[in-house]
């Protein structure tokens, strides 16, 4: 009987340089992981990093398109000054 997880998983074959496979083997053994688990974690991390980079790029593009006005900058500076002046270390 197949588990719910195995029915949603696909197997693939990849070719890697011997040195890369050696590093994978050492790292997976050190962390008590299977090859699949280590490679899956690495790919998922890569996807998260790519998603984050895309979000940052969208933010930067929007900021360039709609930067703060001088009034907004002044208001932020005033709010920061007021807030920080209430701190005991100032």
> pTM here?
0.67
- Per-residue model confidence as pLDDT tens digits over 5-46: 557 889 999 999 999 999 999 999 999 999 999 999 999 999
- Phi then psi for residue 51, to 5 deg, are -60, -45
What is residue 40's predicted lDDT score, i.e. its pLDDT? 96
With a CB cutoff of 8 Å and minimum separation 6, the contacts of 39 are 24
What is residue 44's predicted lDDT score, i.e. its pLDDT? 97
What is residue 85's predicted lDDT score, i.e. its pLDDT? 87
């Amino acid at each position: 009987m197949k588990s719910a997880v195995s029915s949603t998983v696909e197997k693939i074959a990849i070719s890697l340089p011997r040195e890369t496979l050696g590093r994978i083997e050492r790292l997976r053994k050190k962390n008590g992981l299977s090859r699949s688990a280590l490679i899956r974690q690495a790919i998922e991390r890569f996807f998260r990093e790519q998603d984050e980079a895309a979000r940052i790029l969208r933010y930067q593009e929007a900021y360039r398109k709609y930067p703060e006005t001088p009034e907004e900058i002044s208001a932020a500076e005033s709010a920061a000054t007021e807030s920080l002046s209430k701190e005991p270390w100032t």
